[in-house]
Amino acid sequence: MADLSPDDLSRLTAVELRDALASGELSARESTEHFLREIESRNKHLGAFVTVTAESAMAAAHRADQLHARLVREGRSQEQALLHGMPTAFKDLTDVAGVPTTHGSAALEHKPAPEDGALAATLKGQGVISLGKTQVPEFGLTAYSENRIAPPSRNPLSLGRSSGGSSGGSAAAVAAGLVPFAPGTDGGGSIRIPAGACGLVGLKPGRGVVPSGASAGDSARLVVAGPLARTAADAALLMDALVPRDQAPDGGYLANVGRAPEPLKIGLSLDSPWAATYPFSIEPEAMDALARGTEQLEKAGHTVTEAAIRYDNRYPEAFTTAWTAGVGSARIAPQREALLTPLTRTFRRRAQQRSALKLNEALGFLRQFEQDTITQYAQWDVILMPTLAQTPRPIGWFTGGGHSGEPWPSEWAGDADEDYKRQCEYAPWSSMVNVCGLPAISVPVHATVAGLPMGIQLIGRMGSEVLLLQLAAALEAA
């Protein structure tokens, strides 16, 4: 392996790994073998991967090495794909050709996908090698990645705690070094929540920025795709692969990430549209992270002032109506409905009992909420808050259960409404960003006495993804 030892390979950032692969210092085969060994060794304790596709990954690495050799031989190495040979993984809501997409549900038949979904096709076209599928909650509905088909996804920094959701398996894989970075999808916090729990940079781009991230049947246009990474530069590299070149900033995201932004007016807010329905308390560790992030931003020359945001208290019902509409229409055989988790089964039943008029009213309200909220945010360049109101939660905490890591028995039962309430109290500042279609980023800035990561969330204006990555890079440097 050229001049790189296995230990060196584990320590490389995604950008450094990309450079080693592009130069030929490291072959795609060597890189893929290394990360597959890491998965084989460590995933049994983490539950990050549901499916490992070692054989197809090695075949893809072989093809990548052949292509690299041919382009070099012909003097066309500049034509090499941006992410040539880079290993990654896709959450188990994303179709990857020849691999079952479980959607985290025991109620579905797990047949191999006939072709790549848009997200996988885009990144494979940029040269990535998929190592497998990562753990998710059932249908991506929850802020934790526990289901009935496989062991829960655990937090690499504290194995008794959750890695978050719905991109929880992907976040655990990145934080543990099983892949250098990974794409996530975010419809209500599903990139930022696991990023906050696992100490990663997690960017939710604005609506429409990543064309391959849109989700079919998402009537509220909540879902987007974005990067989970250990550094802002690594997240920027993945953004360069996700965003069409003609829609990217001049020079691309990575080329701009290291530039310091002009002094910004930042509004600090702890207001949440969930507070009236689910009054929540903020743990001291979250406030410690907020104080540290504020201090670092002010040292960088930005002005942080309190922002009082007023949210319409009809939001929780409207968001929940839109959020759960898709599970109501999911094709599930009647005899398999009993295999759904209690939360999914409860919200599916309610969605099916709801009229189309009720859903349309909720969608109309959310569009008005979007306009009202963006108007208030416009007084500041960026809105600041903790990523999460609490430290990463123990496995089983949301469901009132708790288990050893084995798949749940079919008779498992829990209180769906208590589960949902706990999620909203845990992550009270995430879903409204999806409703507004704005970009937002979670950045780790603090560690608790027990070593748990805590982060801050920065919400930007439309088109401010580069700015958010620049702020993340500055916070890293601090």
CATH number at residue 443: 3.90.1300.10
Task: Mark whether 190 is an active-site residue.
Answer: yes
Measured CA to CA, the distance from residue 250 to residue 243 in angstroms comes to 12
* In-domain check, residue 323: yes
Residue 401 has pLDDT above 80, yes or no: no
Number of domains, the chain: 1
pLDDT at 215: 81
Structure tokens at 75: 């003097």
What average pLDDT does the structure give for the chain?
A: 95
- Containing domain of residue 460, as a range? 6-477
Which of 130, 153, 170, 190 is catalytic? The answer is 190
* In-domain check, residue 51: yes
Q: Give the confidence band of 142 by pLDDT, cuts at 50, 70, 90.
A: very high
* In-domain check, residue 320: yes
* In-domain check, residue 142: yes
Rounded average pLDDT over 157-184: 98
* In-domain check, residue 289: yes
Rounded average pLDDT over 299-312: 98
Q: Give the confidence band of 404 by pLDDT, cuts at 50, 70, 90.
A: very low
pLDDT at 6: 63
pLDDT at 411: 42
pLDDT at 3: 62
Task: Mark whether 77 is an active-site residue.
Answer: no
Q: Give the confidence band of 171 by pLDDT, cuts at 50, 70, 90.
A: very high
User: CA neighbours within 13 Å on the CB side: how many for 296?
Assistant: 21
Which of 27, 31, 91, 272 is catalytic? The answer is 91
Q: Give the confidence band of 410 by pLDDT, cuts at 50, 70, 90.
A: very low
* In-domain check, residue 1: no
Task: Mark whether 269 is an active-site residue.
Answer: no
Burial state string for 437-455 with b = 16 or more CB within 10 A and e = fewer than 16 = bbbbbbbbbbbbeeebbbb
Residue 13 has pLDDT above 80, yes or no: yes
* Contacts of residue 460, Cβ cutoff 8 Å, sequence gap at least 6: 381, 382, 438, 439, 440, 441, 467, 468
Which of 153, 166, 212, 215 is catalytic? The answer is 166
Residue 242 has pLDDT above 50, yes or no: yes
- Per-residue pLDDT of 336-362, as tens digits, reads 999 999 999 999 999 999 999 999 999
Residue 72 has pLDDT above 90, yes or no: yes
* In-domain check, residue 270: yes
Rounded average pLDDT over 214-230: 92
Rounded average pLDDT over 262-270: 98
pLDDT at 227: 98
* In-domain check, residue 136: yes
pTM for the whole thing?
0.96
